[in-house]
């Protein structure tokens, strides 16, 4: 479908979209649609999407579930995905439909429900935050999401509450025909609170999928928020996901984006440090082969003084895979005593693998410590020989070196059970095995 089809579809079905959409999303829909109509989907002429546009993928005729028909009964058998040893509050979004799988009440006033439900039951809280970050993004996909998204996950952690377990959100694409999903998540963390979220992106079966997800996160003063995103989908998957973060004073954020199996993925991360004393760690890793394409496009905005940010992205690219890293680190006027570091390191395993890296620093303050750098290379031949001389096979030596290369990204995971699991999944992935969660039938 081309742009015109999505314009026509919207006009024709606006009533359905609104009837089955979260009311708080409906409020912004019309305006977002008009903005998107002007933008259209990005082409390679759009500088931000030069190396990773979705022109070809968007020409596919995807089905949409605009009536938000609940697929829970058909997909019950899929609800086994977990990371063993992780006790989590587990929630599912199938394509773009939030599926109620549990009625458990969370302690201490924590709210965990669909955005649609929250738009009614916590109207003020939702409306106060929803779309505040996305509306400022001049991004075609985020804007398209605001026009089309109908539901997603809502999380609220009240002041002073430290969550005892992580929240795990499984985004699963599951359909019998080519399908598109646009979901929207909103996460609001109060003051002095703590929350960890693990997002698992999966795809089941062989249809072509296009997912376009937006997650807005507000981190209150003195609070800590961790966001882990693990993608293990399929070659037919196009995955655009925007993570938009608002950090208040003295808050701490850790983001870790891990892409193991996919088709074409674009992660847009935009972080605003909107108070002094913030700490921000953003890292990620990519293991690619075949024709995988992974684009991590990140912006970290230092708007206030005395903040610290550290960014680290690592790519291991084999065969004909393509990696893209766009990192913009912006230190605004007045953001003195900023310490900001950005690193992108890449390992190319074949002549056809490619990395486009663009580390950027923009500094408008004069008392700051900033650095950035990108390196691209091959496996260290002398290290390989050294290991082989000790009796380690060439294959095993390569695996050890690759696993060592991404080790520091994995070590940045602060949930021990998840860290162990990711070590295992990375090892399996490097051995060419499917990185499936042990008991997730979606991956089988």
Which chain residues interact with another protein by CB under 8 A? 380-383, 385-394, 396, 400-401, 403-405, 407-408
Query: Based on CB atoms, which residue is closest to another protein, 249 or 383?
Result: 383
Cβ pair 108, 158 in contact under 8 A: yes
CB burial of 357-391 (b: ≥16 within 10 Å; e: otherwise) equals: bebeeebebeebebebebeeeeeeeeebeebeeee
Query: Based on CB atoms, which residue is closest to another protein, 302 or 345?
Result: 345
Query: Based on CB atoms, which residue is closest to another protein, 269 or 430?
Result: 430
Query: Based on CB atoms, which residue is closest to another protein, 401 or 417?
Result: 401
Taking the complex as a whole, how short is the minimal distance between the CB of residue 351 and another protein, in angstroms? Answer: 18
Taking the complex as a whole, how short is the minimal distance between the CB of residue 386 and another protein, in angstroms? Answer: 4
Taking the complex as a whole, how short is the minimal distance between the CB of residue 402 and another protein, in angstroms? Answer: 10
Taking the complex as a whole, how short is the minimal distance between the CB of residue 389 and another protein, in angstroms? Answer: 5
Cα separation, 62 vs 38, in Å, equals 22
Query: Based on CB atoms, which residue is closest to another protein, 111 or 400?
Result: 400
Cα separation, 203 vs 206, in Å, equals 8
Cβ pair 223, 188 in contact under 8 A: no
Q: Which residue do the tokens 């019950």 mark?
A: 76
Taking the complex as a whole, how short is the minimal distance between the CB of residue 86 and another protein, in angstroms? Answer: 24
Query: Based on CB atoms, which residue is closest to another protein, 366 or 381?
Result: 381
Taking the complex as a whole, how short is the minimal distance between the CB of residue 34 and another protein, in angstroms? Answer: 50
Cα separation, 65 vs 181, in Å, equals 8
Count CA atoms closer than 13 A to 235's CA, side-chain side.
7
Cα 74 to Cα 172, 174, 210, 429, distances in angstroms: 13, 10, 20, 30
């Amino acid at each position: 479908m081309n742009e015109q089809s999505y314009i026509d579809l919207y006009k024709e079905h606006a009533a359905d979209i609104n009837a089955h959409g979260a009311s708080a999303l409906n409020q912004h829909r019309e305006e977002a649609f008009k903005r998107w109509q002007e933008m259209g989907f990005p082409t390679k002429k759009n500088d931000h999407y030069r190396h990773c546009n979705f022109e070809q993928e968007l020409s596919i005729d995807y089905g949409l579930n605009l009536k938000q028909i609940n697929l829970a009964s058909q997909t019950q058998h899929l609800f086994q995905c977990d990371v063993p040893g992780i006790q989590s509050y587990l929630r599912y979004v199938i394509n773009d439909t939030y599926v109620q799988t549990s009625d458990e009440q969370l302690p201490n006033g924590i709210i965990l429900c669909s955005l649609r439900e929250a738009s009614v039951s916590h109207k003020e809280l939702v409306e106060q935050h929803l779309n505040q970050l996305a509306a400022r993004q001049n991004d075609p996909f985020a804007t398209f999401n605001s026009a089309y998204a109908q539901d997603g996950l809502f999380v609220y952690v009240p002041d002073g509450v430290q969550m005892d377990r992580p929240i795990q959100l499984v985004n699963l694409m599951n359909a019998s025909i080519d399908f598109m999903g646009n979901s929207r998540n909103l996460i609001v963390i109060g003051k002095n609170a703590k929350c960890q979220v693990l997002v698992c992106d999966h795809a089941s079966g062989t249809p072509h999928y296009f997912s376009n997800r937006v997650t807005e996160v507000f981190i209150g003063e003195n609070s800590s928020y961790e966001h882990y995103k693990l993608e293990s989908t399929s070659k037919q998957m196009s995955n655009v996901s925007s993570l938009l973060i608002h950090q208040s004073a003295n808050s701490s954020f850790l983001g870790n984006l891990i892409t193991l199996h996919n088709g074409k993925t674009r992660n847009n991360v935009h972080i605003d440090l909107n108070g002094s004393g913030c700490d921000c760690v953003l890292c990620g890793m990519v293991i690619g082969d075949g024709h995988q394409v992974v684009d991590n496009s990140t912006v970290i905005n230092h708007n206030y003084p005395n903040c610290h940010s550290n960014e680290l992205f690592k790519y291991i690219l084999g065969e004909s895979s393509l990696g893209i890293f766009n990192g913009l680190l912006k230190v605004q006027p007045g953001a003195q005593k900023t310490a900001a570091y950005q690193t992108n390191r890449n390992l190319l395993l074949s002549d056809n693998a490619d990395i486009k890296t663009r580390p950027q620093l923009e500094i408008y303050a004069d008392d700051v410590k900033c650095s950035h750098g990108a390196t691209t290379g091959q496996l260290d031949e002398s290290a390989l020989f050294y290991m082989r001389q000790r009796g380690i096979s060439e294959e095993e030596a390569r695996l050890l070196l690759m696993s060592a290369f991404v080790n520091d990204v994995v070590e940045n995971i602060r949930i021990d059970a998840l860290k162990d699991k990711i070590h295992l999944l990375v090892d399996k992935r490097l051995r060419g095995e499917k990185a499936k969660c042990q008991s997730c039938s979606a991956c089988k």
